[in-house]
Structure 1
Amino acid sequence: HRGFETITYMLEGRMRHEDHMGNVGLLESGGVQWMTAARGVIHSEMPQQQEGTMRGFQLWLNLPSHAKLGDPDYRDFAPAEIPQLALPGGVQAKVIAGVFKAGDIEQHGIVQRPDTEPLLFDLQLSAESAVSPQVPDGHRLLLYVYEGTLRVGEQAASKGQLVQMSQVGELNLSSERGARLMLLAGRPLGEPIVQYGPFVMNSREEIEQALRDFRDGTLA
């Protein structure tokens, strides 16, 4: 990889990681791996089922041009390290990145990143519950429902649907029968994006350089 970050969040199952820097990790159910590829990481991921199941998410988060060739980094977070909130009305929140704010409640996640200022929350709503997380105006906001049925304002979203929201305004989430969803938000960089395989850069020339570096053994 070069030029971006990967965030792996396991719901069920395990993921074993090894890379050229000597990092070896086993991501457990409920854990998070945050890898900043920057100028280059060569790694392997080996999925391992747990009791016959494996489920989770891997997200790609772009890096700004000034950080794309910076130093790579890798961090594993155990489930117990991730802040969890039990909110009034039967809402639970796992705060992975950014700051969760709702009413008078404020909780920092395990990761804070500059430039993109991402928010990454795993939210669980019980039947007849509601929550209004605050998202900074101008952030690009996505909601992915992976269990149950969600209401976003007056609109409904069901399991397997990805909802793209306006970049301004209040966010009101509720559920009649319960729902689980990922809230993903970040500040747009406003830079060109050129992606090829495991490389995300700003120009075709930078992609070609990444390919040459990988072939020459100098990517990482």
Structure 2
Amino acid sequence: MQARALHFLIPGRDTSDGAGVRLKRSLGQSAHVRLDPFLMLDEFSSDDAADYIAGFPSHPHRGFETVTYMLDGHMLHEDHLGNRGDLKSGGVQWMTAGRGIIHSEMPQQNEGRMRGFQLWLNLPAKEKMKPAGYRDIQPDEIPVTALDDGVSVRVIAGEVATAQGPVQGPIHGPSQGITTDPQYWDVSMDAGTAATLPVPETHNAFIYVFEGDAAIGGREVPRHHAAILRDGDTLHIHAGQDGTRFLLIAGKPIKEPIVQYGPFVMNTAEEIEQALRDYRDGRLTA
């Protein structure tokens, strides 16, 4: 076994998106702050409705997937095809934008806590123009497994020990799953505990600490920081004195050029220009 060392840290940067939703962005702060196949990770967390109430009115996407994980709160997703989905505490929406989707994500609460994440996951060139689709995953569909005393993992995608998440990659079937074989885990550790997590050696991987703090190889990973990991097949991690909770996210790199213009992620500038024309002419989703 080869332990993954901490390569570098990305502090979550305060910003806003949509109609003014306040959030922290780690991956995706710029075109140079990505980790193939991951394009962006946003954390939103506030007890003040003014920080989130305006939501994300109708907007387009093409060429990638979005994964929204709601820890606390209630959002309603709607799209141009008439699809509707309620995303509530503990639930996940895995959306494939593919050739095009126009949708909105709007809060369904006027007060209280809204907390969660949105991850952007790239698609390979051969899949960028496939039909759009959704998968709404209810909280009770997501297994939780205990690895050691004081260490538990909520498995959204991939596999940990004997727990298989509701989202699987191509290794689980010749015609099902996601090419990048994503692993998406919500890991909780009590104060002073240590864990060894298996991470596929074929994957790029990072963690994002959103409660407490952690340490990898003696190096601290503070709250609201993404830690990019070096190669290896395991992660040895220690919780701080207040415990920790973090996302561990890994995927097979696509190794293709990326050209991004806002909500469009393609492989060439010409494809971006085509996406803009299609959106302008009402053909983005045709």
Short-chain TM bin: over 0.9
* Bigger RCO (CA 8 Å, 6+ sep): 2
Say whether residues 1:140 and 2:204 are aligned partners: yes
Percentage of pairs with the same residue: 54
Deviation at 1:169, TM superposition (A): 4.6
Asked if structure 2 preserves the Cα contact closer than 8 Å seen for 1:38 and 1:72, the reply is yes
User: TM-score, normalization: structure 1?
Assistant: 0.94
Equivalent-residue separation in structure 2 for 1:49 and 1:97 (angstroms):
28
Alignment correspondent of 1:111: 167
The residue type equivalent to 2:279 in the other structure is F
The residue type equivalent to 1:60 in the other structure is W
Alignment correspondent of 1:157: 221
Equivalent-residue separation in structure 2 for 1:86 and 1:106 (angstroms):
10
Alignment correspondent of 1:43: 103
Shift in CA distance, 50/118, structure 1 to aligned 2, threshold 3 Å? farther
Structure 1 runs of 4+ off > 6 angstroms? none
SS in 1 for 2:86: strand
Match of 2:188 among 105, 124, 134: 124
The residue type equivalent to 1:142 in the other structure is F
User: TM-score, normalization: structure 2?
Assistant: 0.73
- For structure 1, which runs of at least 5 residues remain unmatched after alignment? none
Asked if structure 1 preserves the Cα contact closer than 8 Å seen for 2:198 and 2:233, the reply is no
Write out per-residue CA displacement over residues 83-138 of structure 1, whole angstroms, 9 at most, x where no aligned residue: 111232111111001112xxxx2321110133211110000001122221111113
Equivalent-residue separation in structure 1 for 2:135 and 2:214 (angstroms):
32
Say whether residues 1:84 and 2:144 are aligned partners: yes
Deviation at 1:50, TM superposition (A): 7.5
Asked if structure 2 preserves the Cα contact closer than 8 Å seen for 1:89 and 1:130, the reply is no
Say whether residues 1:183 and 2:183 are aligned partners: no
SS in 1 for 2:235: coil
- For structure 2, which runs of at least 5 residues remain unmatched after alignment? 1-60, 170-177
Deviation at 1:75, TM superposition (A): 1.1
Equivalent-residue separation in structure 2 for 1:118 and 1:131 (angstroms):
21
The residue type equivalent to 1:61 in the other structure is L
Alignment correspondent of 2:272: 207
Equivalent-residue separation in structure 1 for 2:110 and 2:136 (angstroms):
19
Equivalent-residue separation in structure 2 for 1:80 and 1:115 (angstroms):
25
CA-based RMSD of the aligned residues comes to 1.3
Asked if structure 2 preserves the Cα contact closer than 8 Å seen for 1:4 and 1:38, the reply is yes
Alignment correspondent of 2:90: 30
